[in-house]
């Protein structure tokens, strides 16, 4: 596998960053993951915009979008695959102990790995830990993902593939790596970004394409919903069939199935060459 590190393509087996990289030592970094279909990244421009927003939020120097685009192109060309997970990581850079962030400038890595197409339906759990909608990192896609790793491990232990968080005031927020939608009386709702969730790019497209409403939702909406679905770049729209072991009435239900169809039809337009 070839990846991009600090200005050039390198073999992933020999690519190295400093053991004092601020991304490694304190999680001071931002990232983007997007699906790549036959060498084309999905919604790359939107991902580059969000990367820049996250970098600004963390006070990291904004990456040059042309350089990141070039890096993505080089990585996609060097690693042909039908379906991939393309990841851009930008960190604070080499920061020997006792020093401040990145004396030598930030670290930029672009890498790709193969993935298989997601299943149409899945199971989720809720976890007792909260997203902090008022925290400094709310809405930023930072590399500080350890809480998500813990929650996802809990989900896997229970045979689920995703864990859903409430925020600090008990409202439904998001999953470890996905946004959540519920269908109530034929209408689609998703928590607003003010709930502390990531402004998911798939979420934004789903809102635009299905007319879903942004609504503050209590956690018990999951007990009442007719349908529940998740969105993320690798899931697209994925129906939920069980929440905390409870079967949803239908999965995919009619509204979710329609959203899946709309997504399949329209998503090809968002593949950036």
Residues forming the site for ligand PLP (CB under 6 A):
33, 174, 177-179, 198, 200-203, 231-233
* Beta carbon nearer to ligand PLP, 79 or 143: 143
Smallest distance from ligand PLP to CB 43, Å: 8
Smallest distance from ligand PLP to CB 256, Å: 16
Smallest distance from ligand PLP to CB 31, Å: 9
Smallest distance from ligand PLP to CB 135, Å: 13
* Beta carbon nearer to ligand PLP, 94 or 239: 239
* Beta carbon nearer to ligand PLP, 54 or 79: 54
Smallest distance from ligand PLP to CB 176, Å: 6
* Beta carbon nearer to ligand PLP, 141 or 241: 141
Question: Which phi and psi angles does 203 have, rounded to 5°?
Answer: -60, -50
Contacts (Cβ under 8 Å, ≥6 apart) of 258: 210
């Amino acid at each position: 596998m070839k990846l991009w590190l600090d200005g050039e393509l390198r073999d992933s087996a020999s690519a190295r960053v400093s053991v004092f990289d601020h991304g490694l030592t304190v999680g001071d970094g931002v990232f983007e993951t997007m699906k790549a279909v036959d060498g084309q990244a999905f919604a790359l421009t939107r991902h580059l915009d969000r990367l820049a927003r996250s970098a600004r939020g963390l006070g990291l120097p904004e990456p040059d979008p042309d350089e990141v685009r070039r890096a993505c192109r080089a990585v996609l060309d060097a690693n042909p695959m039908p379906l991939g997970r393309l990841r851009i990581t930008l960190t604070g850079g080499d920061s020997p102990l006792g020093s401040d962030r990145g004396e030598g400038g930030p670290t930029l890595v672009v890498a790709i790995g193969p993935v298989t197409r997601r299943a149409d339906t899945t199971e989720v759990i809720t976890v007792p830990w909260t997203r902090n909608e008022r925290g400094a990192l709310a809405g930023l896609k930072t590399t500080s993902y350890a809480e998500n790793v813990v929650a996802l491990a809990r989900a896997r232990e229970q045979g689920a593939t995703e864990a859903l968080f409430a925020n600090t005031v008990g409202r439904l927020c998001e999953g470890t790596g996905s946004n959540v939608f519920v269908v109530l009386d034929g209408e689609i709702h998703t928590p607003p970004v003010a709930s502390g969730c990531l402004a998911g790019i798939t979420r934004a497209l789903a809102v635009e394409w299905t007319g879903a409403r942004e609504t503050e939702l209590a956690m018990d909406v999951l007990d009442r919903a007719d349908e529940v679905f998740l969105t993320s770049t690798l899931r697209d729209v994925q129906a939920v069939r069980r929440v905390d072991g409870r079967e949803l009435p239908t999965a995919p239900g009619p509204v979710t199935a329609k959203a899946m169809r709309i997504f399949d039809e329209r998503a090809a337009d968002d593949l950036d060459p």
